[in-house]
Amino acid sequence: MSFRVLVLFPGEAATRIGLFTDDTDSMRREIRHDKDELSGFRTITGQWGHRLRAIEESLAAFGQAGDSPIDAVVSPVCPSLKLPGGIYAVNPGFLERAKRSAPHECPLDLGPVLAEALARPRNAVALAVTSSISSDELEPFSTVTGLPELSFGRATETLNIQAALRRFAGEAGLRVSGASVIVADLGENFLICSCSGGRVLDLSDSNERGPFSLSKSGSIPATRLVSMAYSGMWSIGDLANNVNVRGGLESYTGSDDLNDVIERYEDGDAFAGIVARNLAYQTAQEISAQATVLQGKVDAVILTGICAENALFIELVMERIRWIPGKKAVYPGEDDLRSMAYFAVSVLSGGGEAITLE
C-alpha cells in the first residue's frame, strides 16, 4: 500500500514543500516570502496565517488543494524544543509543550502548527520529526568556548546532513556507523560537521560559529560585537536581526541568493566576487578544521544544500580542500524533505510508532 505525504519546511525567507508518494516526490516548491512583508509581523509565530495561505495557494496551483487524498502532513520540530530524536504526533499536548518550551522563536516553530492546520481539513495525520544534534551528543571538548558561561553546540536540525550521509553510505557500500566523513550542509544556514561511528563528533553552525552563510554572520569578533551592543545604536532585536536574519551574504550584497551574487561576479562586479570567494574560503577553512577532528582519517567530504547547486562556488571550495583524503561527493539541493517523508511513511505503514505527548 502506498501513502501520500505532504512535507513542509519553514525557513527564514521561504517555506519549502513537497508532495511524496512513499519516497517518490511528485512536486516540490520553494515559496519565497518577502522579508519586508514578514518583518511586519511582530513575532515569527504571527506569520503562520500568511504562510498557510501561501502553501494552500501553491497546492491549488498544482491541483492538490483537496481533490487527491493526503495521508499525512509532516514538518520538522524546532531544535530549541530539545525533544529526543523521533517522530511525534502533533496533538494538543505537543502544541502546548511547544508553546511553553521554546526559549526563542525560529521559523521551525511554525512547522507543527502549519502541519496541523493543513492536515485537519484533509483528515490526514499531522506529524513532526526531530533529528537534531545538541551539545549533549557532541564530544565534550568540542563544546568549550573559552568562556565558562557559554558553550558551543546548541540544538541544530540535521535532517539534510543525515540524508546526505545515508546516500553516501549506500553508494559507497558502507554502513552509516562505519563511515568517517565530513558533511557540509550549505543551505540557508551553513552546518559543517565531522561524523564517525554513526555520531556527529563536532559541528559548526553559522548561527554561532564557522563561516557566514546566506543570511547569518557565523564567527564574528566577540569584543567588537559587545561594543556594538552597548553603543546605544542598536536594540537587542535589531542587533540579533543583523547577526542571524540579515547578516552574512545578504549584509554585504543586499541579496541572500548565492546564484545572484555569483552572476554579478561573472558579469564583472569585483565586490560581489570578493564576497563570494570569501564565503568559499571560510567554508573550506571549516571543512579543513573538521578534518582535524577525524585526525585526517576521512572517507569522504560531502557537499550538499542549495549552495551546492552553484558549480563555480563548489569549485572555489574544492580548490582548498582537495588535500583532504577520501572521496569528494556533491549532492546539490536539500533532501531533508525526503527524509521527513521517509519517517512519516514508516509510521503510516506500521514500521514505527509516533510518540504522543500528553
Complete domains list, the chain, with CATH = 4-130+337-348 (3.30.420.40), 140-325 (3.30.420.40)
Closest C-alpha among 189, 172, 133, 113 to residue 302: 172
Contacts of 242 (CB under 8 A, 6+ apart): 217, 234, 251
Residue 183 confidence (pLDDT) = 96
CA atoms of 237 and 41, how far apart (whole Å): 14
- Indicate if the pLDDT at residue 154 is higher than 80: no
Average pLDDT over residues 218-243: 88
pLDDT digits (tens, 9 = 90+) for 280-290: 999 999 999 99
pLDDT digits (tens, 9 = 90+) for 241-267: 888 888 999 999 999 999 999 999 999
Contact between residue 19 and residue 4 where contact means Cβ atoms under 8 Å apart? yes
Residue 278 confidence (pLDDT) = 98
Average pLDDT over residues 71-75: 95
- Indicate if the pLDDT at residue 95 is higher than 90: no
Helices marked H in 204-304: 222-229, 236-244, 248-253, 258-266, 270-293
Task: Pick the range with the lowest mean pLDDT from 72-81, 96-105, 113-122, 208-217.
Answer: 96-105
Q: Which residue has the higher pLDDT, 11 or 265?
A: 265
CA atoms of 99 and 93, how far apart (whole Å): 10
Average pLDDT over residues 200-227: 91
pTM, entire model: 0.75
Closest C-alpha among 173, 201, 156, 204 to residue 294: 201
Closest C-alpha among 186, 181, 188, 136 to residue 32: 188
Residue 66 confidence (pLDDT) = 47
